[in-house]
Amino acid sequence: MEAYLDNSATTKVSDSVKNLVVKVMTEDYGNPSSLHMKGVEAEKYIKESREIIAKLLKIEPKEIIYTSGGTESNNLALIGGAMANKRAGNHIITSSIEHASVLATMKYLEDLGFQVTYLPVDESGHVSMEALKEAMTPETILVSIMHVNNEIGAIEPVEEISKVIKSINPNVVFHVDAIQSFGKLVLHPKKMGVDMMSVSGHKIHGPKGSGFLYVSDKVKIKPVIFGGGQMKGMRSGTENVPAIAGIGLAAKEAYENFEDKMTKMVELKDYFIDRVTAIENVTVNSKKGMESAPHIISVSFNGVRSEVMLHSLEDKQIYVSSGSACSSNKPSVSATLKGIGLSNDEIDSTVRFSLCYDTTKEELDYAVDTVAGMIELLRKFTKRR
C-alpha cells in the first residue's frame, strides 16, 4: 500500500487539470501576445482563469498578476511593495515563523537598507496583537503575515491583524501569504482587509510553476521582472498559458463541494491525531478541529530523528516531510518550531503529515500502524548512536 501524506509540499495534479494543461500545450499553444487566432485562443484561457479566481475571491479580474508560484508571488509583493512605497518610510513588519520565501526576501530588503521587525509567536504559533501594535511606527510601510503556517497549520487572525494595522495607519500595505490557506479556507481579501495575497497552484492539485498575486487596485507596487510589458508591465515575459489555465481550473475545483471536503479533512485530521497520540512519547504540535488548518499535522516522535522516521516510512511507501518541504533538504533549525518553544531535541524529532481531500482513513491507519510497529526499534537505534 502507498500513503502519500505530503500534500503541503505538493499535490497530485487532478485528471481534469492535467487534460486541460495538455490540451493547451499541444492544441491551443499560441502566444497570447500574437494577433492571430492562435494568440486570441491562448488569451482566452488567461481571461477565463482571471474570471474564475476573481469570482472566488470577490475581487476584480484586473487585480490578479500571474506568477510562477508562491515564491515569486511573495518576492513580487514584498520587493515590489517596499520599493514602491519607500518614500513613505523604510520599516517592514513580519512574523518570525514565515516561509523561507518571505524570510529570505526580508533579509534582502534589509541589505537594501529597510528595517524589518520579526514578531514573536505564542506556543500555538499565533502573532501577538500587542507586539504588532508596539512594532508599528510612523516609518512602517508594509506588513506581511502568513495566513496558515506551512509547518504546524496555525491560522493567523488575518482580519484582526488588518484592523490593528489600519487603525494605526490606513496607508500601510498588508500582504498575506495564503499559499497554505487557499482552497482550505474561505478567502475574501477585501472583506479581510488584505491588500496583497500570494497563492500557489501546486498546493491545490494544479500544475507546478503556477501561481498568482492579488494586488488591490488601491495599492502601488513596482515590477521586479522587466521586458515585453505583459500583465500591464507588472510581470513581463510570455505568459505560461498551460499553467494559468491549470490554476484557474484547480481553483474552481478546490471550492466545489467545499464544506463537505473540509468537514472530511478535519475529521481525518482529528482521527489521525487521536490515533498517533496513543503511541507513547508522541506529541502533536497542531490543534484539532478548525483551531488549525484542516490538512496539516505536525508530530514530534520523542527519541527518533525526523530524517530517520521520514526514510523509515518511505521504505514502506509512506511519504511525509520533516518540516517545510522547501527547507527539509537543508540542515537548518525550523524557525516555526523554535518560535513555538520546542527544544532542539523536539525539533529534531518532528515530522509533518499533510492531507488532501482525496486522503483516506486507510492511508492514515497504515501510517499510524507502521509508526507504532517500528518506533521502539528506531528509538533503540537512535540511543545506540
Q: How far apart are CA 285 and CA 297, in angstroms?
A: 7
Q: Which of 83, 131, 326, 378 is catalytic?
A: 326
Q: With 0-12 CB in 10 A as exposed, 13-18 as middle and 19+ as buried, what is 58?
A: exposed
Task: Assess whether 356 carries a catalytic annotation.
Answer: no
Spatial strand order of the sheet with 196-200 comes to: 64-67, 211-215, 196-200, 173-177, 140-144, 91-95, 115-119
CA 207 – CA 228 distance, rounded (Å) = 24
Q: How remote is the C-alpha of 318 from its chain's centroid?
A: 22
What lies within 8 Å, CB to CB, of 199 at 6+ separation is: 70, 73, 178, 179, 182, 211, 212, 213, 214, 247, 251
How far apart CA 130 and CA 127 sit, in angstroms, is 9
Beta partners for residue 199, in sequence order: 212
Our CA angle for 4, 356, 100, nearest 5°, is: 85
Residues tagged active-site: 326
